[in-house]
Structure 1
């Protein structure tokens, strides 16, 4: 059976004001409903739900595409987010339908301007090292990302959160700038709560092992091969939609298989129980097969895009950026590179909350317009190879990509072919230092993929205050300042009402094609295949990925 998850609803408006009893730190806050709701992507029934009673025991083997460079999610939200969740719980659970359920926090309040959040914590939770979860422990996590010495690149760090202990189990968090998406951000595994003792007494160890409150404890990391967790038998605080008590399986072993063919072979040979990111060339046959269960999610956020470095010629000229935006046949590039498995997207994926469904300024494929723009910019002559030239220089740029990323290579080869038709030379550079390129600006174009279930991604990737300035590390890979965009993004992030937020994010999506800081290509459909004897695999909506707490393995 194949599940296709294709939509997320908008966040609800904050409810009535809470009667103040917590002092000045929480005055004027509005109580946010946190009652349990069914997660939107989960179907009413599934092959897993039809199984008999869960069986305890066994090791669940999960094949992943990428090994993290290090484990500490508070430093790099992309590096380990797909492999640290077993050990880390979050303050809230993202239901995927615009609502949130209690997890480590029993309830919370949000100020009308979305700048202050107050969390009331459970009183029965302990970290794997035996220390208690309390307000001081959670504050230590916010303090860690706030400290510039830790060089956190995560979304939470961008908000400069200042945490204050109200009482032993109550914490107030004040953001430097309002953020209506904050609950989604802290629901993700890259802000899973870590032990205060580890953060303060042994921070260097965070790179190689994690001490959290999760249903599994860190066991062993064999670099280049696998990462293993063992069950936390004391666990009894999962979100309400999951079973009570400890996990079913004894352990989880992630194996790192970056080669698409090798990862797919792990499915067919049954060497892995769960295989994440089924390669697009095998998507159709895997979903059609009766041998596997599949779950598919069209990832929200900003999909795979080519960010154009405006600090380097020729992308310092708007006409050049617009020419590439309209001169590449994005639909054909995506269809060819992904074997038809992924859709081309606008500046946000259609599954992102606040995606503008009635978008008027859509990206059109118009080679006549593109060629006219290049002529207008002064690149009207061509050399013997057909490339445009001006003042003896060829219209040329370069794009680095990870040397083991086959999908990126296929995509960029198609981009290169299309660009050549325009007379634009794009050179491909396979590299091993791709993550560092964002920070040192050593690229002309940079392909990146950012999945996050919030329209805040537009601010992270295109906001002026996310441009690296030498003292801070930014995620605005085009280095482009767009004042009118900054204005509407600020309004969106401070909007307490979902309809206001949607209006402002829609305006942002209308503005972006005019400035063309990047060329959006595709939304990634994350296809997960599961062996038929595995049951209870759920979905973590905040950072879309399989959630394995309920998983169990049926006996042959």
Structure 2
């Protein structure tokens, strides 16, 4: 699914939640002495099941509900550490993973975690249509509970990146009682997990409340303390309007806000409200090209389109400089990132030359024509103001070299249907994963094939090979090769990298960030404590 920040279906958003009936004494402690953290979110995911959701729930609200086999470090994503699995072995060709499970873990309903429950989770994920974590099990041969606390996963082919996948919220483990429910029930009623927090209540598009899990004592080895979470309650309030979120933060009605407004970010910092800029891991925000049809089947036209984009100007005009101009197919924090800045320079003269060579001549209105047809292409995207804003900048830039770029905002099922059917010329897309295998998942013809390439293409070979290569240096050569081909052939047009803006009221201590999920960087609240708000 496409993600920019945390897009939920617009029909689910209520613009009336701005009444802000928020009661939070000093932004830290409720009247009965509970330690409460309140977070203002821009929107809410449609499915409150971390395993299924593609729009960020597993990384934000749902991350505290479920634990994963492993944990991934945000600052050093190549660092994978124990969590529910206290240790593991991987065979020499990465076709077999053996996890040794902790023996002291229970779910919040009292049921016990063991290898059979994890097997049941992974078996179930693979059968749920559209589940965010299902793609990680492509090519699985067998999932076996060797004994109560030993899980073995065998793949038909080497699968080096699977270990990183086990750290995601999308592969967070839920209780047998949750597995017994239908996917639809889980989306609407939530899940029972083994995490440090428990889902207390949900009022769709208004508020979600989590409470501390009593007796929790099996955190990831990356956390700073053991035992129960310090917070008693976490309240997520849905506040769609950026200015209203800012007002709630200034008045200490909320402790943290996501998607800080660009115009508010620096003033808030000057007022003493800390700002965190959380860079995404995975792909840059790319305009993916359907190479199988129309004008963009011509490589020179694709290359010209990319050279006509001034990425810094896009970031400055559409995002007030708070995004990062793309410097490669992957974001710069992603393992395996290749700096491709030289191929992404703004060069309208080169774009003009390529279009001339391809036989496109400028008409009286500035739009190029060939054989009587205009140089007209369409970009499909999930309908949201922030997407519209940056694409309007791109639209004006490429017009200067003769492209007539049409914008095609889509909502709900129409968006997903167009993507799955390949019904697009260009498509705005990004995907989060802290491993270069994100390239294979999105672009291989054996996976999602977002470029709509033929099977005899030039990237499937190295993508398959990197998944099977255990030597880091050899694997880096293969993923570098793929990234170079993607830009040389202009299969995709990277524009910018996402940088999530989170402001807090100065009371929040030890907020941490984890590895990426399907829609956002994981927000870790387990170690958080709250100080008194300055008045």
Distance 1:264-1:179 versus aligned 2 partners, 3 A rule: farther
1:30-67 CA-partner distances (Å, limit 9, x unpaired): xxxxxxxxxxxxxxxxxxxxxxxxx9833211122331
Q: 2:360 aligns to what SS in structure 1?
A: coil
Q: CA RMSD in A?
A: 2.4
Compared with structure 1, are the counterparts of its residues 173 and 279 closer, same or farther at alpha carbon in structure 2 (3 Å cutoff)?
farther
**Matches of 1:325 and 1:113, distance apart in 2:** 38
Aligned twin of 1:16: none
Instruction: Tell me the distance in 1 between the aligned counterparts of 2:382 and 2:245.
Output: 18
Partner Cα distance (2:351, 2:146) in 1: 58
**Contact 2:265-2:275 at 8 Å conserved across structures:** no
User: What's the secondary structure of 2:434's corresponding residue?
Assistant: coil
Question: Matched residues in 2 for 1:252 and 1:229: separation?
Answer: 5
Structure 1 residue 338: deviation in Å?
Answer: 1.6
Q: 1:269 to 1:431 in 2, by over 3 A?
A: farther
- Which residue of 395, 403, 415 corresponds with 1:424? 403
Contact 2:206 2:238 in 1 (8 A): yes
- Picking from 269, 274, 283, the partner of 2:256 is 274
Is 1:221 paired with 2:199? no
* 1:117-145 Cα shifts (integer Å, max 9, x gaps): 11111111111222211111101121112
Match status 1:263 vs 2:245: yes
Deviation sequence 1:189-208 (CA, Å, 0-9, x none): 11111123321344432112
Quote the offset at 1:159 in angstroms.
Answer: 4.9
* Corresponding position: 1:480 with 2:453: yes
Aligned pairs, number: 490
Q: Quick check: 87-96 or 64-73, which moved more?
A: 64-73
Task: Report the CA distance shift for 1:432/1:211 in structure 2 as closer, same or farther (over 3 A).
Answer: same
**Within 1, Cα distance between the matches of 2:443 and 2:433?**
15
Deviations 1:312-359 (A, max 9, x none): 4122222221111112222222222221122212111111111124x5
**C-alpha spacing 1:530/1:381, structure 2 compared with 1 (3 Å):** closer
Query: What are the within-5 Å matches in structure 2 for residues 286-301 of structure 1?
Result: 286=268, 288-289=269-270, 291-301=272-282
User: Alpha carbons of 1:445 and 1:258: their partners in 2 closer, same or farther (altered >3 Å)?
Assistant: farther
**Residue 513, structure 1, aligned to residue 487, structure 2:** yes
Matched, 1:72 2:49: yes
In the alignment, which residue of structure 1 is the partner of 2:500? 526
Displacement after TM superposition at 1:106 (Å): 0.8
* Residue of structure 1 aligned with 2:69, choices 77, 91, 103: 91
Q: Note the 1:137-176 alignment, pairs <5 A.
A: 137-147=117-127, 150-154=129-133, 155-160=135-140, 162-176=142-156
Deviates more, 1:384-393 or 1:529-538: 384-393
Cα distance in 2 for residues equivalent to 1:360 and 1:295? 25
Q: Counterpart of 1:546? A: 523
Shift of 1:378: 2.8
- TM-score norm. by structure 1 comes to 0.82
| Contact 2:281 2:516 (C-alpha < 8 Å) held by counterparts | no
- CA change 1:360–1:80 in 2 (3 A) is closer
Q: Conserved in 2, the CA contact under 8 Å of 1:144 and 1:150? A: no
Q: Which has the higher contact order (CA 8 A, sep 6+)?
A: 2
The 2-side partners of 1:269 and 1:313 are apart by 54
Distance 1:115 1:292 in 2: 48
Show the counterpart of 2:84.
104
Residue number in structure 1 paired with 2:446: 465
2:21 paired residue number = none
Aligned partners of 1:153 and 1:238: how far apart in 2?
A: 24
Structure 2 alignment gaps of length 5 or more: 1-31
For 2:314 and 2:298, the matched residues in 1 are separated by 24
TM-score by length of structure 2 reads 0.85
Local SS of the residue matching 1:85: coil
Q: 1:187-336 counterparts in 2 under 5 A?
A: 187-208=167-188, 209-240=190-221, 241-286=223-268, 288-289=269-270, 291-336=272-317
Cα distance change of structure 1 residues 329 and 401 upon mapping to structure 2, 3 Å threshold: same
Verify the 8 A CA contact 2:362 2:402 in the aligned structure 1: no
Evaluate the alpha carbon distance shift between residue 258 and residue 459 of structure 1 in structure 2; reply closer, same or farther with a 3 A threshold.
farther
Mark the runs of 5 or more structure 1 residues left unpaired by the alignment: 1-54, 467-473
Q: Does 1:407 align with 2:383?
A: no
What does 1:379-418 correspond to in 2, within 5 Å? 379-382=360-363, 384-403=364-383, 405-418=384-397
Residues 317, 502 of structure 1: alpha-carbon distance in 2 compared, 3 angstrom cutoff: same
CA-CA distance at 1:549 after TM superposition: 0.9
Partner of 1:113: 93
Q: What secondary structure, in the 3-state scheme, does the structure 1 residue paired with 2:88 have?
A: strand
Runs of 4+ in 1 over 6 A off after TM superposition: none
Partner Cα separation in structure 2 for residue 533 and residue 443 of structure 1:
46
Q: Secondary structure at the match of 2:122?
A: helix
Partner of 1:541, secondary structure, is strand
**Distance (Å, rounded) in 2 between the aligned partners of 1:169 and 1:498:** 30
The question of whether the paired residues in 1 share the 8 Å contact of 2:86 and 2:102 is answered with yes
Q: What is the aligned partner in structure 2 of residue 33 from structure 1?
A: none
Preserved CA contact (<8 Å) 1:303 1:451: no
Task: Indicate the SS of the match to 1:198.
Answer: helix
Report the Cα distance in structure 2 between the residues aligned to 1:176 and 1:228, rounded to whole angstroms.
42
CA offset digits 1:285-323 (Å, max 9, x no partner)? 44x435223332322211211112234412222222111
> Per-residue displacement from partner, 1:499-549 (whole Å, max 9, x unpaired)?
222222112221111221211011112232222122221111344232101
After superposition, the Cα gap between the structure-2 partners of 1:254 and 1:243, relative to the gap in structure 1 and judged at 3 Å, is same
Deviations 1:385-409 (A, max 9, x none): 3212223322212223333x33212
Shifted more, 257-266 versus 160-169: the winner is 257-266
Q: In the alignment, what sits opposite 2:13?
A: none
Matched, 1:356 2:338: yes
